[in-house]
Amino acid sequence: MSITKVALVVLLGLFVGAFFAFDGQQYLSLGFFQQYYQQQPLLSALIYFVVYVLATSLSLPGAALLTIIGGMIFGLWMGVLLVSFASTLGATAAFLISRFVLRDWVQHKFGVYLKAINTGVEKDGAFYLFSLRLIPLFPFWIINLVMGLMPIRVSTYYWVSQLGMLAGTLVFVNAGATLGAVEEFSTAGILTPSLLLSFVLLAIFPFIARSLLAALQRRKALAGFKRPKKFDTNLLVIGAGSAGLVSAYIAATVRAKVMLVEKVAMGGDCLNTGCVPSKALIRAAKSVKDIERASRFGIEAGVPVVDFAKVMGRVQDVIGEIAPHDSVARFTGLGVDCVEGNARILSPWEVEIDGRIHSAKRIILATGASPIVPRISGIEQVEALTSENLWELRELPERLLVMGGGAIGCELAQAFQRLGSQVTLVDAMPQLLPREDTDIVAQLTQQLAEEGVRILTGYSVTSFNAQNGQRRAILSRSEASQITVEFDRVLVAVGRKANTSDFGLEALGIQLNSNGTVTTDRYLRTSCPTIFACGDVAGPYQLTHAAGHQAWFAAVNALFGGWKKFAVDYRVIPQAIYTDPQLARVGLNEREAKEQGIAVEVTIYDLADLDRAIADGDAQGMVKVLTAPGSDKILGATILGPQAGELLTEFVTAMKHNFGLNKILATIHSYPTLSEANKYVAGEWKRKHVPQKLLNWVGKYFQWVRGG
């Protein structure tokens, strides 16, 4: 920081310190200005103006009081004139001070993290500022300082601030003017209709401003489009995966007319290519493992023989058995108009489906996501598998290369290894499941390695080649460290991208996030207020149950948002990875707590001590709970072990309803069950928080009782 900036900071600090040390609050009082007003009204106005500018520019407390005082002394219109210009000049001065002293340092230090914010401010900074000025969600002095760090022009900041603060200034000055006109400060004198109206305006102004701003936003977003006089449906849902099905179900339940459009298959990815088939495959693979280790229980079952074609046949049977739950017949019976076809949004109220135009008062985009296939040299030669086309296999690959050490990669790598493939699992990150705690992942990685999976972390696939029937992948850790892996088939599981192309979003200017998902607000509205989005296409979670959770909010807000809106709640979202042992989590883990600078206390219970786990031969894993220091409030829980996804529900319930480990400890758990692990981890926490001094006195009491 330059000498000039340091000197300015010191000078400002001395001035603010002197203000508090010498009771500067007296200069922001009614009596101070009244003493000049009777003899010299112009001088009084000038002093008031200067004091207001100084107080605002130095972010001193009392701006709201000063505004009311201005109305009491100078009346409505003169008070509005003085306050409007003084507050804007002071705010701009605070803005410039913040920019001069801090902006270069903040942008240099945190520019990477502020990139998205900077881009948004450069594009719509005036609108954001106007919103903040019109609806005082944050104190104005915070807005002045923060906006000084952002890339917005001084002239824009000035005129937007003056315009945005004008309505609030008028309401506050009017309240002061009404108070100033009261001749007798008695109950009868104060409770006049005009004064009561002023107080009512003060109370309801934020709500009026919010409604006005929302109307301006809607008008801006819908400009250029003609609204139909009547609508074919109340709600039109694009996509019949988890999010779309739940949205349509809710709309039909409340007797709204709803149309559900799907171009491929009802049930979406979860039913047809995701959750259901993968769990059916994992169950088959687990049965192989159970047979292999049956001798540990005194049972000789021989060597398991895998008929892979039958395994995959059963996978399809399971899909077929569950499919009626998501079928056209079922949803038609519920009152949903199910349509097969390609949907394209033409306007905020119109959707084209294979040449026919349908109108809807609200539209929900629930188009899901698709596997990412990276552009790697030679990948077109090796017939890459993804989670979508994997289920067409009928011959078990002898050697399977799995790209991606996330949930899908780990689950399928273990399953295929158990079914008889020799699996190589490669990921560019230093560990598998990079968002999970190192100690948890280390145990899971060891289990996969013991089962025969070759794990190559820190390696990236740089190219493929196929010659003479042999397929090879070149993996590199650096230019000097390369290895070649031969394989028969490659499964690409490096992530999924939101399905946003060819739906007309670009023409409507619907905004996308940097990761390609649709931008939504906390009510799941897109940048077009009549269009909502939920599920994988909106993020931030690519989980079936998260999609269903979002769908409730999207549907209710789409149908009833004019009366009452509900903000989507992401506080308690459980996640489960269905490896063996399973890995399930809710809330924070240690890695995230450290990254976010959140202080936590960690309590661990090792499943090696759990009676039921020992009896089942599954005594591996742990329960790890994060709590607020000195409190039993649960901030997060991670479970590695058998049925971890089921065991996690108790912690999900506890976090959702705000009860802590003491309540779990006081709850009776059946013996012997795996769920006792939750009670035992609560007991571990309790032992660490036993009041030692009290116990010492209790011990002395019992010693005295014994006659000691």
451-455, 460-464, 701-705: segment of lowest average pLDDT: 701-705
Residue 208 is assigned to a structural domain of this protein: yes
98-102, 593-597, 616-620: segment of lowest average pLDDT: 98-102
Tokens at residue 449, please?
């390695």
Q: What are phi and psi for residue 518, nearest 5 degrees?
A: -75, 135
- Same domain assignment for residues 116 and 41: yes
Residue 363 is assigned to a structural domain of this protein: yes
Q: Of 164, 199, 220, which residue constitutes the final position of a domain?
A: 220
* Distance of alpha carbon 636 from alpha carbon 651, whole angstroms: 8
- Same domain assignment for residues 149 and 251: no
Is residue 247 a contact partner of residue 235, using CB atoms and an 8 Å limit? yes
> Going along 394-458, which residue ranges are E strands?
399-403, 422-427, 454-457
> What average pLDDT does this structure show over 131-159?
74
Residue that wins the pLDDT comparison between 643 and 52: 643
Residue 274 is assigned to a structural domain of this protein: no
- Same domain assignment for residues 600 and 536: no
Q: What is the CATH number of the domain that holds 545?
A: 3.50.50.60
- Same domain assignment for residues 594 and 522: no
Is residue 4 a contact partner of residue 97, using CB atoms and an 8 Å limit? no
633 CB-near residues (< 8 Å, 6+ apart): 627, 658, 660
Residue 285 is assigned to a structural domain of this protein: no
Residue 645 is assigned to a structural domain of this protein: yes
331 CB-near residues (< 8 Å, 6+ apart): 245, 248, 249, 252, 260, 266, 338
Q: Of 220, 243, 276, which residue constitutes the final position of a domain?
A: 220
Crossing angle between the packed helical segments 193-222 and 154-180, to the nearest 10 degrees: 160
> What is the model's pLDDT at position 185?
46
Tokens at residue 468, please?
């003479």
What is the per-residue pLDDT across 341-375, written as a single tens digit (0 to 9) for each? 999 999 999 999 999 999 999 999 999 999 999 99
> What is the model's pLDDT at position 436?
97
* Distance of alpha carbon 182 from alpha carbon 548, whole angstroms: 58
What is the per-residue pLDDT across 403-442, written as a single tens digit (0 to 9) for each? 999 999 999 999 999 999 999 999 999 999 999 999 999 9
Cα three-residue angle 694-700-703, rounded to 5 degrees: 145
* Distance of alpha carbon 369 from alpha carbon 597, whole angstroms: 32
Residue 35 is assigned to a structural domain of this protein: yes
- Same domain assignment for residues 486 and 594: no
Q: Of 533, 560, 587, which residue constitutes the final position of a domain?
A: 560
> What is the model's pLDDT at position 414?
98
- Same domain assignment for residues 545 and 658: no
139-148, 155-164, 207-216: segment of lowest average pLDDT: 207-216
pTM for the predicted model, two decimal places: 0.77
Tokens at residue 596, please?
């976010």
- Same domain assignment for residues 521 and 418: no
Report cis status (omega within 30 of 0) of the bond before 581.
yes
Tokens at residue 190, please?
């104060």
Q: Report the DSSP beta bridge partners of residue 356.
A: 353
46-50, 394-398, 512-516: segment of lowest average pLDDT: 46-50
Q: What is the largest CA-CA distance in the chain?
A: 109
- Same domain assignment for residues 16 and 158: yes
Of these ranges, 63-67, 552-556, 691-695, the one predicted with the greatest mean pLDDT is: 552-556
Residue 702 is assigned to a structural domain of this protein: no
Q: Report the DSSP beta bridge partners of residue 371.
A: 496
- Same domain assignment for residues 479 and 359: no
- The whole domain housing 470 covers 379-495
Helix, strand, or coil here: 618? coil
pLDDT level of residue 209 (50, 70, 90 thresholds)? low
Question: Minimal CA–CA distance to 523: which of 485, 569, 481, 586?
Answer: 569
Q: How many structural domains comprise the chain?
A: 4
Cα three-residue angle 339-345-349, rounded to 5 degrees: 90
Is residue 504 a contact partner of residue 345, using CB atoms and an 8 Å limit? yes
Q: How far is CA 671 from the centre of its chain?
A: 38
- Same domain assignment for residues 367 and 471: no
Residue 683 is assigned to a structural domain of this protein: yes
